[in-house]
Amino acid sequence: MSGKICSMLAFVYLLTVMFVSPANAYAMHIMEGFLPVQWAVLWAVLSLPFLIAGVISIKRTLRDRPNLKMMLGLAGAFAFVLSALKLPSVTGSCSHPTGVGLGAVLFGPAAMSVLGCIVLIFQAILLAHGGLSTLGANTFSMAIVGPFVAYGVYKITQKLGAPFWLAVFLAAALGDLLTYVTTSFQLALAFPAEVGGFMASFIKFNTIFAVTQVPLAISEGLLTVVVFNVLAAYNSQELQELSVLSKEEVQI
Amino acid sequence: MFKIDQYAYANRLGAVHPAEKFAFAVVTMIVCIVFSSMLTSLAVILLMSFITVRRAGIPGRFYLKLLSIPLSFLVVSVVTIAFTVSRETYQFIYGFTVWNLHLGITARDLDVAVNLFFKSLGAVSCLYFLSLTTSMVEIMSVLKRIRVPLLFIELMGLVYRFVFVLMETAGQIHTAQSARWGYASFRNSYRSLGQLISNLFIKSYHRSQMLFTALLARCYTDELNVIEPGYPVSAKNVLMIVLVELALVAMSLFTGGGLFGGIYS
């Protein structure tokens, strides 16, 4: 192969990656049927304990405050609608927020794992996005790793005395980033490269998807800060009921 | 609002028992993924699209458009799997060099990638059969029958009901904002979208409180019970499903599909 044609092909490939993926840059879900059986089953089995724990924790909360059930149902619908919104991305194209950080901070990670799983089912069936056989893997990356990371980051940065907006930004952005790294991890485990094995494959997937996912994480971080600012300014009472804000923060 | 949802209520297989449709889609999908042979995948794609378009009466053009949705993920991922990047040259069946890196395709990776492409499309056609012929309410009734926790299903039901309300509200707010140049610049669109989301959140919060009050007034405790419409179980359909699945399995085994995906994937 002559060098010219080769570099041209590489250029065309890069262009396709740049233009095919951002055109539809939803949060990254592994599509239906993409994972081999053993991996699909493994991730489903790994997600199950979190879902069971989530259902149990929701049940316990409902015993004291039964009105929260309606709240959770609407929160799920809210997360679904959020994922269907178009978010102007830093690169100029459009992407879709995941709502992982927002949900984790508002409702806590345990409830988010159950709600996230439900939202993923709806996305698969109503929007043809994601899938049933890959539901376990997607739940693990988007409804378990994402919210837990976001919540952990939020709590730690707050404890370190960081301003509220920074904690929210970091929680949303890192929650998004870790979600996509987990997905790349899952794909690389299922499809190790012939040369270089798992690591080579992991790096490959990370680089390819970084094109869309890094701008998305930054945009979502910014957006979540704007959302919380509006909420804190006009709806501090509701936030307090959800116990997101402590009393002092509201007064500031 | 969602075309798929619309077709799920208005297709020619609407009267068929939801458990039959659910079982057909899920079992076929499992067969397609477990055998992961090219021939099985092609057979599943043809079978499922034939039934969806011909029997259920979904317009062919809409079906094709739907199939193109996962294509961006599929193409990018499959190409990523097919190409190998390394510093040393390797036995590529096709390859080139950019700067100091060698990019190429090995025979094994190409095999995995092509097989994966068709397998995924096969599974997707099964998913589409389910989502285009079976409404969410019917799917939930099937889930209830296979003992998914009641709380989970109830939350699903609440989410399903409210998705449409919130979608419409979000659309109205968006229209109103655009009419006032809300999305005219990058800065503006962030502010507008932030306001839209926080407003939507507060609206859903209040709506949920109102719903709870309304339900309490009607003696609500613990769960919402609704009467499900009865569906006749058709012996002919069950037999057909069993025969088709057996034929698929036989064909896969006969053509050397091998259990658990042959050698590679």
* Residue type for position A216: L
DSSP annotation string for chain B: --HHHHHHHSSTTTTS-HHHHHHHHHHHHHHHHHH--HHHHHHHHHHHHHIIIIIS---HHHHHHHHTTTHHHHHHHHHHHHEEEESS----SEEEEETTEEEEE-HHHHHHHHHHHHHHHHHHHHHHHHHHHS-HHHHHHHHHHTT--HHHHHHHHHHHHHHHHHHHHHHHHHHHHHHTTTTSSHHHHHHHHHHHHHHHHHHHHHHHHHHHHHHHHTT--S----PPPP-PPPHHHHHHHHHHHHHHHHHHHHTT--TTSSS--
Structural domain including B48 reads 2-82+110-143+234-264
Strand A94-95 and strand B101-105: the pairing is: unpaired
Do B156 and B260 sit in the same domain of this protein? no
Distance from CA of B73 to the nearest CA of A (A): 7
Q: What is the mean pLDDT of chain B?
A: 85
Confidence of residue A247 (pLDDT cuts 50, 70, 90): very low
Is B194–A227 a contact, with Cβ atoms under 8 angstroms apart?
yes
Residue B228 lies in a domain: no
**Residue A88: which of B26, B159, B190 has the nearest Cβ?**
B190
Is B201–A231 a contact, with Cβ atoms under 8 angstroms apart?
yes
Contact A120/B at CB under 8 A? no
Is B70–A21 a contact, with Cβ atoms under 8 angstroms apart?
no
Domain count across chain B: 2
Region B31-48: mean pLDDT is: 89
Expressed in angstroms, the distance from the first to the final Cα of chain B is 38
pLDDT of residue A88: 64
Q: Which residues in chain A are contacts of B76 at CB distance < 8 A?
A: 16-17, 20-21, 208-209
Q: What domains can you pick out in chain A, each with its CATH number?
A: 3-19+26-235 (1.10.1760.20)
Do B120 and B163 sit in the same domain of this protein? no
Q: Which residues in chain B are contacts of A98 at CB distance < 8 A?
A: none
**Residue A238: which of B163, B197, B205 has the nearest Cβ?**
B205
Residue B64 lies in a domain: yes
Q: Please, are residues A102 and A237 in contact by the beta-carbon 8 Å criterion?
A: no
Do B184 and B133 sit in the same domain of this protein? no
Is B159–A196 a contact, with Cβ atoms under 8 angstroms apart?
no
Question: B96 pLDDT exceeds 80?
Answer: no
Residue B192 lies in a domain: yes
Do B34 and B60 sit in the same domain of this protein? yes
Q: pLDDT tens, B123-162?
A: 999 999 999 999 999 999 999 889 898 889 999 999 998 8
Do B75 and B31 sit in the same domain of this protein? yes
Do B114 and B18 sit in the same domain of this protein? yes
Residue B154 lies in a domain: yes
Strand partners, B253: none
Region B79-106: mean pLDDT is: 72
**Residue B152: which of A55, A77, A223 has the nearest Cβ?**
A55
Q: Which residue of B has its CA nearest to A89?
A: B186
CB pairs under 8 A between A and B: 263
Do B135 and B238 sit in the same domain of this protein? yes
Strand partners, A168: none
**Residue B209: which of A67, A118, A121 has the nearest Cβ?**
A67
Q: Which residues in chain A are contacts of B149 at CB distance < 8 A?
A: 55
What ipTM describes this predicted complex? Answer: 0.87
Contact A110/B at CB under 8 A? no
Question: A178 versus A101: which is more confidently predicted?
Answer: A178
Tokens of B192: 């507008």
Question: A22 pLDDT exceeds 60?
Answer: no
Contact A210/B at CB under 8 A? no
Do B119 and B250 sit in the same domain of this protein? yes
Place of tokens 């569906």: B231
pLDDT of residue A109: 86
Is A85–B155 a contact, with Cβ atoms under 8 angstroms apart?
no
pLDDT of residue A114: 92
Region A178-197: mean pLDDT is: 86
Q: Which residues in chain B are contacts of A187 at CB distance < 8 A?
A: 77
Strand partners, B102: B86, B97
Distance from CA of A147 to the nearest CA of B (A): 18
Residue B227 lies in a domain: no
Q: What are the C-alpha distances in Å from A26 to residues A35, A128, B44, B69, B73? A: 19, 12, 27, 11, 10
Confidence of residue A15 (pLDDT cuts 50, 70, 90): low
Place of tokens 């042959």: B262
Residue B104 lies in a domain: no
Strand A94-95 and strand B94-98: the pairing is: unpaired
Q: pLDDT tens, B156-209?
A: 999 998 899 898 899 999 999 999 988 888 888 888 888 898 888 888 888 888
Distance from CA of B9 to the nearest CA of A (A): 12
pLDDT of residue A75: 84
Residue B42 lies in a domain: yes
Confidence of residue A252 (pLDDT cuts 50, 70, 90): very low
Confidence of residue B51 (pLDDT cuts 50, 70, 90): very high
Instruction: Note the helical H segments in A68-196.
Output: 68-84, 100-107, 109-127, 135-138, 146-159, 164-190
Contact A246/B at CB under 8 A? no
Do B127 and B73 sit in the same domain of this protein? yes
pLDDT of residue A51: 93
Which residues numbered 33-52 in A keep a CB inside 8 Å of some CB on B? Answer: 33-34, 36-38, 40
Residue B14 lies in a domain: yes
pLDDT of residue B44: 93
Q: Which residues in chain B are contacts of A81 at CB distance < 8 A?
A: 163, 166-167, 170, 200
Collapsed DSSP state (helix, strand, coil) of residue A1: coil
A25 DSSP 8-state letter: B
Do B35 and B57 sit in the same domain of this protein? yes
Do B66 and B49 sit in the same domain of this protein? yes
Do B26 and B41 sit in the same domain of this protein? yes
